[in-house]
Structure 1
Amino acid sequence: MYKINVTEIYHESHFFVNPHAIEVLKRHDIDTENLHPKHLNQFLNEDIDIVISLCDKMHEQCPTFPNKPIYAHFGFNDPAAMTGTESEIQQVFNKVFAEISNRIDLLLVVLNKNISRMDVQTELDTHATKPSESSK
């Protein structure tokens, strides 16, 4: 059984969570009070079971963790890079939120199958986004 602890990690310095992301999370009743970005280096010595990258850059630069966790790439275009009207930007954040939610649901289904670690990796690889796909 896996204990799930979701953490947003950046490979570059970020000092705040995007306000559009905060807005979407709040609309879905997700507590954002203590939400803040954490740098990747904070987790290099942690005992991590699964690492999921959400952008191509993180996927390409993701370090090797000591306990050899399962890796999956659920790539999305960065909604923070979106330009347009406020409404268009919010639509992109809503879409990415929905896609991430679907991937989390998939992850939970896979983890609840009571299968081997290798089979979990295989199932996640089957549903992973190839880096070139998320750039489209």
Structure 2
Amino acid sequence: MASTGQAAPPFLRLAAHPLRWCLLSSLAGSDLRVRELAALLDQPQNLVSYHLRLLRDGGLVTANRSSLDGRDSYYHLDLDRCGQALADSGADLHPALRRDIAAVDRPERFPAVAVLFACTGNSARSVIAEALLRHETGGQVRVVSGGSHPKPAVHPDAVRVLREKFDLDIADQRPRHLDTLAGQRQDYVITLCDKVREICPEFPDHPRQIHWSIPDPAAVGGYPAFARTAADIAARVRHLLPVLARPTSAGGPP
């Protein structure tokens, strides 16, 4: 018989707090800044910062300095870490509740939705995301990408990482300007650059806005930076799949 003094697993102690659960739920849909979370949850910013620090200390949330304003940070929920922690918590209660999060089936069919990935140059992050989502959905989802200031060509390391890590070839792709996509219906607009998030054009029918705060690998330089970026985007795309497979309105919740 378990001792009555046995503590709950760390994940449950962290997630059970009402405000921290609201923070986790908010970050599950998009990367956000402290002031945005405070406004969304109608809570004092210092209180939100305190609980974000606890979530960071627990390894559930990470923070990236904004490329638009280096004094600001975007917070990101590590869904893989949360999934593993939740599975471990179930196993702590009873071995029969052990679940392998890697074994979760991916959706086989997707509704007719349109997704736009946007960044500044449309030469690395957004084209990687476009290629990976198109591949993961078997072409069922209409996916495009664009940039606010497109580069002359796709970065060669973006081409290389998709070819070597995912067996995908985008050598013939060319960056496009976001203005060329204006007026097209989008169900999801996903920005991967802090700068472009602020200037992304509006699209008809109020698509759902999602932000992935991902540093530009070209600014870091070198193929390893592109490999890390592609791995991050691949994980985010994997978590996006069940959201896209769920029949919701474009502006509705995930």
TM-score (norm 2): 0.43
Structure of greater relative contact order (alpha carbons < 8 Å, 6+ residues apart)? 1
Rounded Cα–Cα distance in structure 1 between residues aligned with 2:205 and 2:223: 38
Residue of structure 2 equivalent to 1:55: 193
Residue of structure 2 equivalent to 1:133: none
Who wins on radius of gyration, i.e. which is larger? 2
Whether 1:107 aligns to 2:240 is yes
Where 1:96 maps in the other structure, the secondary structure is helix
Whether 1:13 aligns to 2:154 is no
Residue of structure 1 equivalent to 2:161: 24
Is residue 17–residue 35 contact of structure 1 (8 Å, CA) maintained in 2? Answer: yes
Is residue 154–residue 174 contact of structure 2 (8 Å, CA) maintained in 1? Answer: yes
Residue of structure 2 equivalent to 1:72: 210
Q: Which amino acid aligns with 1:96?
A: T
Match of 1:92 among 219, 225, 242: 225
* 1:115 CA drift (Å): 4.0
Is residue 182–residue 203 contact of structure 2 (8 Å, CA) maintained in 1? Answer: yes
Rounded Cα–Cα distance in structure 2 between residues aligned with 1:8 and 1:114: 23
Rounded Cα–Cα distance in structure 1 between residues aligned with 2:144 and 2:245: 21
Rounded Cα–Cα distance in structure 1 between residues aligned with 2:143 and 2:251: 22
**Aligned Cα RMSD in Å?**
1.6
Residue of structure 1 equivalent to 2:183: 45
* 1:2 CA drift (Å): 3.0
Gaps of at least 5 residues in structure 1 are 84-88, 124-136
Say if 1:75 and 1:2 are closer, same or farther in 2 by CA, change over 3 A. farther
* 1:116 CA drift (Å): 4.5
Say if 1:13 and 1:32 are closer, same or farther in 2 by CA, change over 3 A. closer
Where 2:189 maps in the other structure, the secondary structure is strand
* 1:42 CA drift (Å): 0.5
Say if 1:62 and 1:112 are closer, same or farther in 2 by CA, change over 3 A. same
Runs of 4+ residues deviating >2 angstroms: 5-8, 113-119
Where 2:180 maps in the other structure, the secondary structure is helix
Gaps of at least 5 residues in structure 2 are 1-110, 114-140
TM-score (norm 1): 0.77
Q: Which amino acid aligns with 1:70?
A: R
CA offsets 1:83-123 (integer angstroms, 9 cap, x no match): 4xxxxx2111111101111111111111223345454xx33
Rounded Cα–Cα distance in structure 2 between residues aligned with 1:32 and 1:70: 27
Residue of structure 2 equivalent to 1:134: none
Is residue 24–residue 97 contact of structure 1 (8 Å, CA) maintained in 2? Answer: yes
Count of matched residue pairs: 116
Identical aligned residues as a percent: 33
Is residue 20–residue 90 contact of structure 1 (8 Å, CA) maintained in 2? Answer: yes
Rounded Cα–Cα distance in structure 2 between residues aligned with 1:71 and 1:2: 18
Residue of structure 1 equivalent to 2:126: none
